[in-house]
Amino acid sequence: MSDPIPSSKWPYLIAALLSLVGLGDAIYLTIQDLTGQNLRCTIISGCAELLYLQAFIIHHFCQYCLLSAGVTITLTVLVAITSLTGRRTTI
């Protein structure tokens, strides 16, 4: 019995799903900024004040920034691993 998705396509599927998560994060933040609404911070309080200075100056973190960083790092690692293993296939 064969897999419904070939193993060579999994990195692309994961990258597509992570990209959608990042897009959703960016759209939410853009809408909040354009409408002048405060960010709803469900995990950490005070996200609106932490968007740019979080790690080295304020020493607090914004959940939306952490999500964005996580998506970016995961996509970078996924692309690097896929390139190094030679799994370049045409979609």
| Residues 84 and 13 sit within 8 Å (Cβ to Cβ) | no
State residue 17's pLDDT score: 92
| Residues 27 and 6 sit within 8 Å (Cβ to Cβ) | no
CA distances from 9 to 5, 12, 85 (A): 7, 5, 13
State residue 21's pLDDT score: 92
> From first to last of its 91 residues, what are the pLDDT tens digits of the chain?
555 777 778 888 888 999 999 999 889 888 988 998 877 777 766 666 666 677 777 777 778 888 888 999 999 999 888 888 875 555 5
Q: Nearest 5 degrees, angle CA 90-CA 27-CA 74? A: 45
C-alpha of 74 from chain center: 8
Nearest to 52 by CA among 27, 29, 86, 31: 29
Nearest to 22 by CA among 54, 64, 52: 64
